[in-house]
Structure 1
Amino acid sequence: MTKFILRRLLLGALTLWVVTTLIFFGVALLPGDIATEMMGQAASPEVLTAFRQELGLDQPLWYRYLNWLGAVLQGDFGTSLANGREINALIGGRLWNTFQLAGAAAIIAVPLAMGLGIASALTQGSLLDRAVNFIALSLVSFPEFFIAYVLILIFSVELGWFPSLSQMPSDITLLELIKIILLPALTLTLAVQAHIMRMSRAALLGVLNSAYIEMAVLKGVRPRRIVLHHALPNALAPIINVVVLNMAWLIVGVVVVEVVFIYPGMGQLMVDSVQKRDLPVVQACSLAFAASYVVLNMTADILSTLANPRLQHQG
């Protein structure tokens, strides 16, 4: 198991390095001139040249990449071009806000989806099973921004229960935070719950159709004990995998939701930075999203392997 974890860590580090390389060169090769964008069309050629030299844009691309990579490995993401602030301080609070939103969505989505999946599996073919599957597939077919606007229309415009804009002052209370974060979290919940629900249903049905479950039924074991002590533990590996992967999506997929609700997270910061051509901030946000996804992906592999002893022998 130790060798398996080390292999996953090395593979994750390699993946993250490839992602950082693609991020840097992809952002650097974007069309347009950052100096002209920052200084304005009326700037003289001398001013533009001096600005490029100040940013190091006159140096070869490979040299800039090595300098950027070396600084990132030391935890230094540079300085924002838009406001001159240190990027580490700029993204710290935004990253925490994004984790708060993703965590709130996970707290709602995971128990709800697993509960519906288990109930659907235990009542296979019933009206409840058909209704849960129909609603889940209907919701997952809609894009996040559509779900967000429908929720805003119902709960903000018509009912007035929750704010449509997620403004978060520094002295916010816990109750105010819940009120502000609920609609964005509910949007993410409706977007991801179908995947978790259907995987929970499929994994549990696969185990319930096993021979040892039939033997337990014939011996008169209570249905609750069969599900909790025999079926569910053996169905955990794929369920854990899809839950953690959807948590990774919650973190990296919040961009659209944050933009709709003007939520002060990493997604909103990255969109604003793209509009301002603040490339160092765009690179830092992209790297933070990529690192979160890679770490959670490795976590999914490790947890699903720990939950299934057969995978440990195969690894």
Structure 2
Amino acid sequence: MSSSQSRVRRPRSRLWPARSAGALLVLFAVSVLVFAATEAAPGDAATARLGPQAPADAVAALRDRLGLDRPAPLRYLDWFGHAVRGDFGASYASGRPVGEVIADRFGNSLVLGLAATAVLVPLAVGLGLWAGLRAGRRGDRLVSGTALGLAAVPEFVTGALLMAVFAAGLGWLPAVSLLGAGQGPLDEPSVLVLPVITLVSVCLAQNLRLVRAGVAEAARSPAVEAARLNGVPESRVALRYVLPAGLGPAVPMLARSVAYLLGGALVAESLFGYPGIAALLVDATAARDVPVVQAVALLGAAVAVAANLFADLAVPLLDPVQRRPR
């Protein structure tokens, strides 16, 4: 291998460790911010559980039992040390291990997020590719205009309209996504339909437009023009040359959308009464259940950091120059 080739390859070989180290530092910073935010909130778990009229000695005893009277830095170190081992303590509200409380809801959010992702990614990529290859034509204007209209409608408005039409009006789907005891969303797939459509409608617009813009630019590149002049079939040009280059600008936004979907979509879960992780966060915040709030926030940050790390590592692989053998 020549020295010039070595200089080109070496930065790529260090991409994983460098980006992974950066992701871990981000998670550490997020853990500090999460702990500081819960500390800065008014009141604490003791007063929330006993009520504002509780005797001062009872509140003090509960604070001592929960360890709330210890200095904040010591409590952070103790919490973070256990969190990296997967131990987030016990819920103040129920006394159950936080991991069990989260597991009950995270599975529901994961199913909802995966279902929405399975619809979002093919739609955004497929429609973006189709519109980008027809940039400036009637089909492109129709798709881009529809995407712009979807982006202008708030998520709760979209969900409310879907509920009014398909649940209250036509009666085709349940208005709320409540699950019975011992049931999961896959036992009642109909409860996923309206939340999934709501989430996809919100995330589709930006992703579709980014894919469309990237494809339109890639379709005008010299490499694509050369492939067409050499008689390469148009379908192969689109899939082999245009799509990978066009996806590069859209991958970070797709990653953020997937992280949002998998991490629990607050508006959709609240609107449809879906028992997911975002709804758990709302309930825990209202109850001042600090261990659950901290764990859910850190879990959401971990999902977002992992998705962005994947995007950072995937973008260079989509670059034709980076993928070309050396």
On whether the aligned pair clears a TM of 0.5, the verdict is yes
- Superposed CA offset, 1:8-61 (max 9, x none): 110000000000000001111101243222101231111011011111111111
**Structure 1 residue corresponding to 2:204, chosen from 193, 199, 210:** 193
Matches for 1:182-261 after TM superposition, within 5 Å: 182-252=193-263, 254-261=265-272
From 18, 28, 33, the equivalent of 2:39 is 28
Aligned length: 312
Contact 1:258 1:265 in 2 (8 A): yes
Deviation sequence 1:94-121 (CA, Å, 0-9, x none): 1121111111111111111211111111
Maintained 8 Å contact 1:241/1:303: no
1:74 to 82, 85, 105: 85
Q: Does structure 2 retain, via aligned residues, the 8 Å contact 1:105–1:188?
A: yes
AA paired with 1:227? A
Distance 1:281 1:45 in 2: 25
Residue 123 of structure 2 is matched in structure 1 by 112
TM-score, normalisation: structure 1: 0.93
Structure 2: which amino acid aligns with 1:131?
Answer: L
| Residue of structure 2 equivalent to 1:13 | 24
* Greater Cα shift, 150-159 or 242-251: 242-251
Q: Partners of 1:143 and 1:103 in 2: how far apart?
A: 22
1:90 corresponds to which of 76, 84, 101? 101
Find out whether 1:42 has 2:53 as its counterpart: yes
1:146: Cα distance to partner? Answer: 1.3
CA distance in 1, matches of 2:61, 2:70: 13
| 1:139 has 2:154 as partner | no
| Structure 1 residue 91 displacement after superposition | 0.3
Report deviation, 1:93: 2.5
- Asked if 1:281 is matched to 2:292, the reply is yes
1:228 Cα shift?
A: 2.0
Identity %: 36
Aligned to 1:129: 140
Contact 2:111–2:185 (CA under 8 A) maintained in structure 1: no
**Cα distance between partner residues in 1 of 2:185 and 2:134:** 42
**2-structure distance, mates of 1:208, 1:171:** 48
Is the CA contact (8 Å cut-off) linking 2:89 and 2:291 kept in structure 1? Answer: yes
Mapped contact 2:264–2:276 kept (Cα < 8 A): no
Task: Give the superposition deviation at 1:310.
Answer: 4.3
Distance in 2 between residues matched to 1:225 and 1:251, nearest whole Å = 33
Q: Is the 8 A contact 2:125 2:208 kept in 1?
A: yes
Distance in 2 between residues matched to 1:109 and 1:238, nearest whole Å: 17
Taking the aligned partners of 2:71 and 2:106, their CA distance within structure 1 comes to 31
What is the rounded CA distance, in whole Å, between the counterparts of 1:173 and 1:81 in structure 2? 27
1:174-185 aligned at under 5 Å gives the runs 174=186, 176-185=187-196
Quick one: distance in 2 between partners of 1:67 and 1:109? 40
Per-residue CA deviations over 1:52-111 (Å, capped at 9, x if unaligned) read 111111111111111111111221101111111111111012112111111111111111
Residue 309 of structure 1, CA deviation: 5.8
Secondary structure of the corresponding residue to residue 238 of structure 1: coil
